[in-house]
């Protein structure tokens, strides 16, 4: 499931997340040196999984978003989690939450 993307409020770039929690930041590297001008995607706020990279580079913002979506899905799978559609306020408002595969069945 792709992350939901929005303009980042505290930094120039975009952030991807679920609900109010941002899991990923995509921004353009502009400090000079290696990677200057490339787009960076960085997964954060999640426990480290040694088999999933949490940082990468791309030529475009769209490419960086796609990479982050793929890595996030891979992280979910390897962590035994999935996105569950839940109804937090009665029957009217759906929200996305992380849940393990066993409790989601």
How many domains does the chain fold into? 1
Distance from C-alpha of 75 to C-alpha of 47, rounded to nearest angstrom? 10
Tell whether the model's pLDDT for residue 51 goes beyond 90: no
Residue 68 lies in a domain: yes
pTM: 0.72
Q: How confident is the model at residue 50 (pLDDT cuts 50, 70, 90)?
A: low
Residue 59 lies in a domain: yes
**Digit-coded pLDDT (tens) for 89-101:** 554 444 555 655 5
Q: What are phi and psi of 76, to 5 degrees?
A: -55, -50
Residues of the domain holding 20: 4-79
């Amino acid at each position: 499931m792709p992350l939901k993307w929005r303009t980042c409020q505290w930094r120039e770039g975009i952030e991807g997340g679920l609900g109010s929690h941002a899991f990923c930041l995509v921004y353009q590297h502009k400090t000079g040196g290696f990677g200057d001008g490339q787009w960076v995607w960085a997964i954060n706020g999640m426990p480290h999984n040694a088999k999933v990279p949490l940082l990468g580079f791309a030529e475009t913002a769209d490419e960086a978003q796609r990479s982050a979506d793929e890595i996030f899905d891979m992280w979910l799978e390897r962590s035994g989690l999935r996105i569950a559609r839940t109804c937090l306020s009665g029957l009217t408002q759906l929200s996305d939450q992380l849940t393990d595969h066993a409790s989601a069945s």
